Structure 1
Amino acid sequence: MAQSTSDSDNARGLARLIGTNLFRRLIADGIRSQAGTYGIAIAAMVVVALTSAATAWVMEGIVDAMTDTGNRARVWGVAGLVAVIFTIKGVASYVQAVAMKRAGNRIVARQQLRLYLKMLRQGVAFFDGTESSNLLMRVTNSAQAAREMINLFVTTGVKDVLTLIGLVAVMVYQQPLLSFVALIIGPIAMLILRRLLGKVRAMARAETTSLAEIIRIIQETSGGIRVIKVFGLEDRMIDEMRRAVAQVERRANSIARLEAIPSPLMEMLSGFAIAAVVLISSVDLGGEPTSAGQLMSFVTALLMAYEPAKRLSRIRIQAENLMTRVQLMFDILDQPDTMLEAPDAVELQPGPGEVRLDHVRFGYRDGRPVIPDLTLTFEPGKTTALVGPSGSGKSTVFNLVMRLYDPDAGAVLIDGQDLRRVTFASLRRRISFVGQDTFLFSTTIMENIRCARPEATDDEVIAAARAAHAHDFIMALPDGYQTQVGERGNFLSGGQRQRISIARTILRDAEILLLDEATSALDASSEAAIRDTLQEITQGRTTIVIAHRLSTILQADRIVVLNDGQIVEYGTAAELLERGGLFRQLYDQQFGGMILPDSGAGDDL
């Protein structure tokens, strides 16, 4: 049979693939974790392979029994044997299918969870530098590729190989010479298939990139639909999607053409092999005469070997495609954990809430220091406002205090304790944050507020919402606190989302508050209503405010003016206005000198 010699070459190619570190890791992560289930599947495959060979072997008895109708006992015996063989094969096939599905589904679930946990152990820099469409592609597509690769290895590499061994054994036993003729054409196929592997590998990588591009466009359309509509960008987005879809289609068709080659190739070569077998079997070469049963058994084994041989001929091309996607999964899993607790991390001890940046140096990915050397103390129980032009380092200070990033040099301390030496949980309990861009989870309003303190009762959540002046609009909704807010809170207005965020902060009841224009999305009446609430919750707490609208921080205990990551001046609003420095310039740009510190605007935060 033509396929079998080619299959031996494919088996060697598969062996080389199995020898790679990537494949060994996949087996360690997959098969070992489901060893029992795969053990059952492989045992069932052995039974299927043996019964397949037995089916071909028993054909000799069937034909001979049918030609010897006078021996009824033999006919009944052969018929019973056939029934037993196919019953055993059917049961074993069912067990194999269920076990493989169960193990494969468990592998996908396990790998997706591992990828998600790995992502959560990364710092914010990882997400800032990686497109969400890329992450989504790897968590879904690559995890499924891991299952498909393991199933390919187990099903084709184990069951089909065992089945072929059994069938070839029957062929050789029945007709050694004809078996040699059937096997000799195989190397031709291998020479052709070898040339396809490199092309498949490159195309698989390109196809994965194109799929990620489609996901990116869909995400941008969903998140930016208002901008798209307002600026009339529909045609542009359609063109982008059309190009991306066309590119995926072209690459998928190219891979399909390459993957389709092995089957017709093996079919054609098998046809030549079978034709040669027919011709040679018709020639009397001497030796023992061949019975009709023996010839039927040989031909049955030859034909039954066709399907597993065809699958084996495709295995390397399929494996190259799948392993390219599996590599993308391990690229994430191999990322070093960048934000971990120290092995000896301790609880952040209670204290007055002093926050200090001690000779901190920090830069993002480009290596340029955003903060070259900053020493700054936020006094406990006081409100400190950070002011400065865009890129001056205000948000970076927030990120460092929340330990979303670690400094490159120096230390960030709370009550004298280095944040790198304390547990995340104890640090998070001491800090609460309200930003300009309010993020809400796709769940109910109740759960979005409660996430700040999961053990809080419904009454405590409602009290926090009342304090944030959110209760009335919540109760006006059809489902009240059980209203689903939609993805990122899109079912609510910007002001409603921000009031829920403020309610979350009130419920948290943390000692250190970080407010990044906490009322930026509120209208004038809502802002006035919540002003007193913010004034109340900041009393006695260490409060750090990023101010873009200077009117909101005129009554802060201290204003620190940053520029290029350095302190250029600090003091009260009156002192800074009188000094005539950068703060005065920013102030005049906004108000033209018309508003004074004692105008009453400074009651805001």
Structure 2
Amino acid sequence: MHLIERLLREQGRKHVRAYVIAFAMMGVIAACTTLSAYVMKDIIDRIFVDKSITAMWAIGAFIVAIYVAKGFATYGQVVVLTRVANNIVAEIQTRIFDKMLALDLSFYNQTHSTDFIARQAFISGAASGTLNMLVTALGRDILTSIGLIFAMFQQDWVLAILAVVIMPGAIVGTRKLGNRAKKVMMTEFSGFQAILESLQETAQGIRVVKSFTLEDFMRTRQHEAIRSFESAANKLARVQSRSSPLMETFAGVAIAAVVVYGGYRVIYNGAEPGAFFAFITALLLATEPLKRVARLQVDLAGSLLGVQMLYEFLDRNEPEREEPGTPALKITQGRVEFEAVDFAYRAGENVLNKISFVAEPGETTALVGRSGGGKTTTMAMLLRFYDPTAGRILIDGQDICAYTRQSLRSQISYVGQDTFLFKGSIYQNIAYGRPGASREEVEAAAKAAFAHDFIASFECGYDSPVGEQGMQLSGGQRQRIAIARAFLKNAPLILLDEATSALDTESERAVQEALKQLCAGRTTLVIAHRLSTVASAERICVIEAGKVIESGGQDQLLAKGGVYALLYKSQFESAALLAEAAAE
């Protein structure tokens, strides 16, 4: 009931005018259905008993009028409810997507992306379906039932009592089916999600699937998910249909009792056959709406499960939702400082441990060290993908946690090691760096990133599609497009996380020159495993176990003979061995 109450408060109130119109239409439908039962008395008595030609034509015209009115009312009701339902679905889909954007990366780290797709498909229509079901039950079914029961009492109150006292037993018998249907529906949703998950991972990982000959494994996995979904769907059909034998049995008993008793009165007591036929017609017409009312709890179970899942998602805490009045960050010089910053993805497992360093304005600061030391997390903290559990991150002396994320991120150009391209053209993917940029500016950015030549070699040039996640381009091409996007943004802070890792030696040399131009006069933080790419950095910070253990220029660190010197020696010795092997 609390779900229905909230749904009526949030959505029903918005569309109350449309629901009132639909309710009025249903009232017309109920009245027409009731009149159909009333007219049966005159059909029997005036036409078949009295044999009146005038009555025959008059009653025929009246029946046409009833059904024309009912037809137009039905049309109006369907159109109004459909428009309301579509509006609610559109609003719910918008709210789900807005909620996705307001959640932080920790949510996405814990949730498979197919969960969003499944929710969109499963729950976006649940709210409108529940409201329409309630309005239809109240307007069409209950009003029609009331009208027909009134007609039955008008014709014969004894028969009406006999019929009415039997039907509530069917309603009581269906009460427990609602909870059962809800549980089965949850199993069906999980199966649907498993199917989507397998489809998505197969499509996105098709190269791995084929290279490791995982076709049989993925086929078995998908077949099991499909069978589980099919089994749950069949079980749901059985649960939802269990009310039918009960309903039909009670309806049959009620109708049979009325026929026997009414027939007895007509045959032995001389009762009017017209009244009896009008009563039977009203009873038969009332059977279907009464059965729908009795099944309402079962039918609502699935929709209410969707509504429950919807509100559970929409009620999640929004870490990235800014408080009203939060000021925008303004970067003047670009001095970045980490002050004793701690951070843990999981409680008690710190990734960053009192990390402290300074990136001076207009200089390049490199973060190096073994994998897992916390370098990428450090950049994620600067972008406020996560906030520190202790310590502060300052830009020009301003604690970034006190300012809006949008103002912070709008002043940072980021190129990550995992290059992501959106569906669309090369031009569109570069233009995302600064929406509204001219085509000349996009092409200039591509030239600066040494991407223009390979783009121009494509048949469609900048309008060439990149494919899903950029799969129609090589890794190096994708990375240069990402660098062009950063060029176009032209932000005062530059973050490069292995930005040249996917490039060959020649391309890397060209892009390094381009990056040098991009970073000139800007504060730049670079993560690199190839130490040759950061040799010219003004400051190199060696990060290990979430803290800076060494910092300085390359010559200073080599002379010190510490961790950086060991990394440098190990890396260049490996490179020398590879060169010798290649020469042989």
TM-score tier by shorter-chain length is over 0.9
Task: Show the 5 A alignment for 1:408-423.
Answer: 408-423=389-404
Shift of 1:358: 2.0
Identity of matched residues, %: 41
What are the within-5 Å matches in structure 2 for residues 140-159 of structure 1?
Answer: 140-159=121-140
Counterpart-to-counterpart distance in 2, 1:57 and 1:225: 67
Residue equivalent to 1:502: 483
Distance 2:347 2:568 in 1: 32
1:261 aligns with 2:253: no
In structure 2, C-alpha distance between the alignment counterparts of 1:200 and 1:114, rounded to whole Å: 27
Query: What is the DSSP-based 3-state SS (H/G/I as helix, E as strand, rest coil) of the residue aligned with 2:264?
Result: coil
Corresponding position of 1:327: 308
Specify every segment of 5 or more residues in structure 2 that has no aligned partner in the other structure, as ranges: 577-584
The equivalences for 1:33-432 within 5 A come to: 33-67=14-48, 71-284=52-265, 289-432=270-413
Report the CA distance between 1:125 and its aligned residue.
Answer: 1.1
Contact 2:427 2:463 in 1 (8 A): yes
Partners of 1:312 and 1:167 in 2: CA distance: 14
Q: Judge conservation of contact 2:416–2:496 (CA < 8 Å) in 1.
A: yes
514-523 vs 387-396, which moves further: 387-396
CA deviation map 1:34-63 (0-9, x unaligned): 222222211111111111111111211222
Tell me, yes or no, if structure 1 residue 564 matches structure 2 residue 513. no
**CA-CA distance at 1:284 after TM superposition:** 3.7
SS of the equivalent of 2:140 reads helix
- Given that 2:178 and 2:300 are in contact with CA atoms closer than 8 Å, whether structure 1 keeps it comes out as no
Q: Distance in 2 between matches of 1:154 and 1:590?
A: 72
Paired with 2:240 and 2:85, the residues of 1 have a C-alpha distance of 23
Deviation sequence 1:95-153 (CA, Å, 0-9, x none): 00111111111111100100110111111111111111112111221111222222211
Equivalence for 2:456: 475
Task: Report deviation, 1:286.
Answer: 11
Residue range with higher mean Cα deviation, 322-331 or 185-194: 185-194
Contact 1:149–1:323, Cα closer than 8 Å, also in 2: yes
Q: Which amino acid aligns with 1:149?
A: T
Q: How does 1:532-571 map to 2 (within 5 A)?
A: 532-571=513-552
Q: CA deviation at 1:541?
A: 0.9
Counterpart AA for 2:275: Q
CA contact (8 A) 2:30 2:143 kept: yes
The answer (yes or no) to whether the contact 2:167–2:254 under 8 Å persists in 1 is: no
1:469 CA drift (Å)? 1.3
SS state at 1:358 partner:
strand
TM-score of the superposed pair, with normalisation by structure 2? 0.95
User: Are 1:433 and 2:411 an aligned pair?
Assistant: no
How far 1:187 sits from its partner (Å)?
Answer: 4.1
> What is aligned with 1:601?
none
Residues 89-98 or 423-432, more deviating:
423-432
Distance 1:70 1:257 in 2: 50
Separation in 1, partners of 2:113, 2:348: 23
CA contact (8 A) 1:392 1:565 kept: yes
- Tell me which of 429, 453, 458 is aligned to 1:448: 429
Name structure 1 gaps, 5 residues minimum.
1-19, 596-605
Deviations 1:280-327 (A, max 9, x none): 123249998431211111111111112212222221112112211221
For the Cα contact (< 8 Å) 1:208–1:325, is it kept in 2?
A: no
On the 8 A contact 2:352/2:374 being kept in 1, the answer is yes
Aligned-residue offset at 1:404? 1.4
Render the CA deviation track for 1:4-41: whole Å, top value 9, x for unaligned.
xxxxxxxxxxxxxxxx2211122223222222222221
Which one-letter code corresponds to 1:587 in the other structure? Y
- The answer to whether the 8 A contact 1:69-1:75 is kept is no
TM-score when scaled to structure 1? Answer: 0.91
Aligned counterparts of 2:253 and 2:508: Cα–Cα separation in 1: 85
Question: CA offset at residue 593 of structure 1?
Answer: 7.6
Q: Is the 8 A contact 1:498 1:521 kept in 2?
A: yes
Aligned partners of 1:582, 1:286: CA distance in 2, in Å? Answer: 109
Number of the residue aligned with 1:4: none
Mapped to 2, the partners of 1:154 and 1:70 lie a distance apart of: 43
Contact 1:385–1:544 (CA under 8 A) maintained in structure 2: yes
